Structure 1
Amino acid sequence: MKADPTVAPDSLDQYLDRTAERLPDGEAVVGSDGRGITFRELHRLSAKVAAYLSRHGVGPGDRVGLLLPKSPETVAVMLGTLRAGAAYVPIDANGPAERAAKILSDCAVRVAFTTPDALLRLDRTAAQPHLTPVLLAPGAQEPSDTPHAVWADVLAADEKDAPRVEPDPDRLAYLLYTSGSTGTPKGVAITHRNAVSFVEWASAAFAVTEADRLSGHAPFHFDLSVFDVYAALRNGAGVHLIDTDLAASPRHLARFVSSRRITIWYSAPAILGAIGAMEPAPPGPADLRLVLFAGEPFPPAKLRRIKQTWPGPDYFNLYGPTETNVCTYHPIPDEVPDDRHDQYPIGAPCSHCDALLVDEDHNPVDGEEGFLAIAGPSVFPGYWRDGRPVQAASHFTTADGRLWYDTGDVVRREGGVFVFRGRRDRMVKRHGYRIELDEIEKALAAHPDLSDAAVVSTESDGQCVITAFIVAPTGAPSAPDLKRYCQGHLPRYMLPDRFQALEELPRTSTGKTDYRHLEGLCQAEPTIDSGNSSNVLRTSPARI
């Protein structure tokens, strides 16, 4: 009996089962290089992955790591992992090996699909005794120290041996690691129920059909990619993956959207702002009907320019932390007035979510401003700790007999919608990524030549700018040396935009770092000096 497509499935991989049966020859996933596979081929390849994992003892409750570039095969690994009943853990393959090793160890990944280069870098950090690596692509340098399998071993598996694990909507589907204030990344545990509720809402809200072609701009370790992959799978649409190099090139992206006849674009605002700023402006893509953006505020002046560059589609501002995925949204009017300087609202709650304003003690507030709390099936069960999701009491509250997640974002009710006002802590967002400034501080504190460090963020032209203040008794390292050090300990999106050396950090009357004073020091444009120690130092901004 065919599954009713109007009924939400119990697991994400069932989307592929349904669509492969309905549209076997439909275009499913296309890589940046134009190489694509059909839904039938994707289903077959994911079954081979599931059979391989099952044969090696991976099943419900296990975790599978992904240190891979975006490709059709990577999507097959994600779906094959889910079919085996396990959860996948996407990790930035180009990020610091030390960070990747921490994540692999933290969630005790059983098998990791990776590349030869990534495995070589992991070998140099720390042993992963629990880990069995599978190389997805051949490389010039085959790792010699770590026993490993190769992709051909997966392809040799018989898809008929793929397990049929009973779907469980409350089973862990994937772990997304975000910046942590303790200096260690923390895993956000997302169940099938969480993800399916979002995909069902998004599919209906944006009327996704098999005629659509979705862009895949977000990396798989970023929650925006959940819409790209699973809304496409659910509705028989094709998703066109955008690799790291292409993702950072506004002019090539503009051509990509037109040549691939993309109908739905979804990304953080930063790259849209860069496309809108191009001179001369690229031609507007004829097929684009929707532009969705999320992850950070979009300055109205930059939003106006991209709407002038791409005037045809409807635009929506989507809001939601990784813990809830999108929970509010707001349509952008056809015209962004020249005299508008305030950010557009984050909108009203999505149909699968409810919203509540709370105070510092998690008590509901009657006023127009408070911390935004969310309830509903998309709210995650907890952070990953000690081998399982653990609810963080400081982030949850109970009201009206329901469990609410406190986002920590201050919002104000205006005309029936929410307007973002800021944060209560030292978490910021840049290019859509969540960044705990304390994590950057802790990385710098480990530098052998620094005795102290403090990190602040300010806004310039609507963009988040991160400044690291450093104290180096024997002379500060050069800006290039500091940048190289940070690249070895932090993901690219967390790299400071500039470094400034001080004789000592300013302190409050209680002896704490005076961050407000440091923010004031950022207001005056510093002298650029990438060479010597006691002057202000600056690095190039992190790439989008």
Structure 2
Amino acid sequence: MKNNMNLTSLPELFIKSKEKYPEKICLEDDYGQYSYEYVYENAIKLANLITKKCSQTHQPIVILTDKNKDVPLIMLAIMMTRNIYVPLDKGMPKIRLNKILKTLKPALVIHDEENSKLKKETSIDFSEFKINNFKKKFIKKIEDNIIDKVNEIIDIDPAYIIFTSGSTGDPKGVTISHGSVIDYILWAKSVFNVKQTDSFASQAPFHFDNSVLDIYLAFISGAKLHIPNEIIYIFPKKTLDFLKNSKITIIFWVPSIILNIANSNLLDKYKLKLKYVIFAGEQMSVTHINQWVKAFPKAQYANLYGPTEITVDCTFYKFNKRYKAKILPIGVPCNNCELTIIDKNGKIPKIGEPGELHVRGKCLSLGYWNNRKATAQAFIQNPAHDKYEDIVYKTGDIVKMDKNGLIYFLNRADSQIKHMGYRIELGEIEAAALNIENITNCAVLYDQNAKKIILCYVEDGKKLFDDKKLRLDLAKKLPKYMLPRELIKLKKMPLNSNGKIDRKLLIKDLIK
């Protein structure tokens, strides 16, 4: 199905920009730049190599490399073969990686030199390709057969899979179509008025769906995407120097980075060319974003919200002056997206009363890869009627709507949280902890105010067990962003009348 730009696929989106801006810089990192023409030609070459390794279509192909300017090129090449790119965190524990590879059964894993022993370390059979070898080879560009594959892509074909946390300890692969991304990007281009003169600063890891906006909004606009070394975001001054020196006009960051810079008291010392400051992934502090508004009054600001399952974002709230209320709304629906709030009784609540947010529209993902059961639980028939199949996504987020039609996020209906921009199931952390020798019971809490994960645990007392060893054991099973900041050893776990862990009591006693 075509749209108002006559686009069916993401490679097609890129090719149209390449034809308009062949010599313009497309991607830039600390080691150099790629023009739109260069990205196109090398994506075609890499796509030819991929077809020799994987002759099938609609297969998951894993990308396991450092974050740099090569990765969007690799993504493009994979999609050109009518396959599905799967960016994974290079630093994730091997146990988690094995679970993901087992779920995916990838046709190919593209990795760098550091992961050359990956196949020996896993129990999964797959073909592999070292991206370093591609750069060394002289490859003749055979364009026609790849373009034929691009022309075969339809908008409901999967484009990418991004893995999110699973409550059972098994990550879930959210599968997103070309059409959903195009619809989202066309909306974002119109709302944020992006031009080919704009420059984006990539902050989100490529295995986090905020990166989808960075990459494809830059591509469709003929803009430049800067991909700095991720370490700069730890240091406010280095981050601000980068924004200034690279003449960045648009940022889409998680609030924790924005808060960290606001706390540095350096904002007033910089004159930046920022046109848009966009944020999503966590609740934004009004106090801290107002410091940005004061420092950069000419910029526009936008709070975006959305689970990975609905193609990055489904609501937005724009503002351009100091915000006076205590909580920022998540706003109103994005284009082609309808939101319904359902209370505990299955009814639409009154204005100001809470309920769970349900989402329907073209934004919905294709479900969870190789997990029909989890898909059926999250993607359900619209509770408003049963006259025809009408699928909605149960977000698990409790929200309310005010009299002006603005939606506000309140909390989670389950144990899922947003932390450091990542969506995390606390149950996955618990599952990891319970697999550690000597841990007999545990509960994971989240302190929203302190922004920290807390692990409460009970041990069997058979041998000495210290926090250092526990942290080391957890680090072997969980990515860094999921590691608890605080460990609390309990003599016994409090239980409620049903014999379940009394989490409310733990929260009352341990979180101020």
TM-score for both structures, normalised by structure 2: 0.92
Give the conservation status (yes or no) of the 8 Å contact 1:277–1:306. no
Secondary structure in structure 1 of the residue aligned to 2:206: coil
Q: CA deviation at 1:226?
A: 0.4
Secondary structure in structure 1 of the residue aligned to 2:368: strand
Q: 1:306 to 1:118 in 2, by over 3 A?
A: farther
1:370 corresponds in structure 2 to 355
Match of 2:332 among 319, 344, 348: 348
1:531 corresponds in structure 2 to none
Match of 1:321 among 307, 312, 319: 307
Matched, 1:107 2:101: no
1:438 corresponds in structure 2 to 427
Matched, 1:379 2:374: no
Instruction: Give percent identity, aligned residues only.
Output: 27
- Aligned pairs, how many? 500
Give the conservation status (yes or no) of the 8 Å contact 1:177–1:187. yes
The CA RMSD over aligned residues, in Å, is: 2.2
1:412 & 1:365 partners in 2: Cα distance?
8
1:440 & 1:98 partners in 2: Cα distance?
13
Give the conservation status (yes or no) of the 8 Å contact 1:476–1:501. no
Letter of the 1:15 partner, please give it. Answer: L
Q: 1:173 to 1:280 in 2, by over 3 A?
A: closer
Give the conservation status (yes or no) of the 8 Å contact 1:51–1:163. no
Q: CA deviation at 1:178?
A: 0.2
1:29 corresponds in structure 2 to 27
Q: 1:389 to 1:30 in 2, by over 3 A?
A: farther
Q: 1:291 to 1:34 in 2, by over 3 A?
A: farther
Secondary structure in structure 2 of the residue aligned to 1:351: coil
Give the conservation status (yes or no) of the 8 Å contact 1:84–1:162. yes
1:18 corresponds in structure 2 to 16
2:138 & 2:71 partners in 1: Cα distance?
13
2:238 corresponds in structure 1 to 252
Q: 1:286 to 1:309 in 2, by over 3 A?
A: same
Q: 1:21 to 1:273 in 2, by over 3 A?
A: same
- Mean Cα deviation higher: 245-254 or 221-230: 245-254
1:471 corresponds in structure 2 to 458
- Mean Cα deviation higher: 109-118 or 240-249: 240-249
Q: 1:211 to 1:281 in 2, by over 3 A?
A: closer
Q: CA deviation at 1:75?
A: 1.1
Matched, 1:158 2:141: yes
1:355 & 1:390 partners in 2: Cα distance?
21
2:440 & 2:420 partners in 1: Cα distance?
30
Give the conservation status (yes or no) of the 8 Å contact 1:451–1:471. yes
Q: 1:57 to 1:120 in 2, by over 3 A?
A: closer
Give the conservation status (yes or no) of the 8 Å contact 1:372–1:409. yes
Secondary structure in structure 1 of the residue aligned to 2:308: coil
The 5 Å alignment of 1:200-211 reads 200-211=186-197
1:542 corresponds in structure 2 to none
2:469 & 2:374 partners in 1: Cα distance?
39
Q: CA deviation at 1:426?
A: 0.4
Q: Deviations over 1:394-435 (max 9, x none)?
A: 442324653221211111111211011111100010111101
Secondary structure in structure 2 of the residue aligned to 1:301: helix
Matched, 1:222 2:220: no
Letter of the 1:158 partner, please give it. Answer: K
Secondary structure in structure 2 of the residue aligned to 1:467: strand
Secondary structure in structure 2 of the residue aligned to 1:54: helix
1:476 & 1:163 partners in 2: Cα distance?
63
Secondary structure in structure 2 of the residue aligned to 1:396: strand
Q: 1:132 to 1:121 in 2, by over 3 A?
A: closer
1:48 corresponds in structure 2 to 45
Q: 1:76 to 1:259 in 2, by over 3 A?
A: same
2:253 & 2:181 partners in 1: Cα distance?
18
Matched, 1:135 2:130: yes
Q: Deviations over 1:457-506 (max 9, x none)?
A: 1223xx42110011122256332222222221111111101101111111
Give the conservation status (yes or no) of the 8 Å contact 1:357–1:372. yes
1:439 & 1:200 partners in 2: Cα distance?
35
Q: Deviations over 1:91-131 (max 9, x none)?
A: 0011212212221221111111112323435633x2321x1
2:173 corresponds in structure 1 to 187
Q: Deviations over 1:218-238 (max 9, x none)?
A: 011111000100011111001
1:377 & 1:202 partners in 2: Cα distance?
15
1:118 & 1:449 partners in 2: Cα distance?
32
Matched, 1:174 2:135: no
Structure 2 portions without partners, runs of 5+: none
Q: Deviations over 1:272-321 (max 9, x none)?
A: 00011114446334311100000110121222233334443111100111
Q: 1:280 to 1:268 in 2, by over 3 A?
A: closer
Letter of the 1:379 partner, please give it. Answer: L
Q: 1:469 to 1:157 in 2, by over 3 A?
A: farther
Give the conservation status (yes or no) of the 8 Å contact 2:367–2:379. no
Match of 1:491 among 479, 488, 502: 479
Give the conservation status (yes or no) of the 8 Å contact 1:290–1:314. yes
Give the conservation status (yes or no) of the 8 Å contact 2:293–2:320. no
Matched, 1:297 2:283: yes
Q: Deviations over 1:146-168 (max 9, x none)?
A: xxxx3347653534353521021
Q: CA deviation at 1:358?
A: 1.7
- Mean Cα deviation higher: 249-258 or 170-179: 249-258
Give the conservation status (yes or no) of the 8 Å contact 1:58–1:86. no
- Mean Cα deviation higher: 318-327 or 359-368: 359-368
1:154 & 1:354 partners in 2: Cα distance?
49
TM-score for both structures, normalised by structure 1: 0.87
1:336 corresponds in structure 2 to 323
Secondary structure in structure 2 of the residue aligned to 1:422: strand
1:310 & 1:155 partners in 2: Cα distance?
48
1:413 corresponds in structure 2 to 401
1:13 & 1:248 partners in 2: Cα distance?
33
Give the conservation status (yes or no) of the 8 Å contact 1:49–1:154. no
2:5 & 2:498 partners in 1: Cα distance?
58
1:314 & 1:240 partners in 2: Cα distance?
20
1:312 corresponds in structure 2 to 298
2:448 & 2:302 partners in 1: Cα distance?
23
1:392 corresponds in structure 2 to 376
1:5 & 1:311 partners in 2: Cα distance?
35
Give the conservation status (yes or no) of the 8 Å contact 1:383–1:392. no
1:57 corresponds in structure 2 to 54
1:121 & 1:56 partners in 2: Cα distance?
17
Q: 1:8 to 1:323 in 2, by over 3 A?
A: farther
Letter of the 1:175 partner, please give it. Answer: I
Match of 1:78 among 71, 75, 78: 75
Give the conservation status (yes or no) of the 8 Å contact 1:261–1:285. no
Letter of the 1:436 partner, please give it. Answer: E
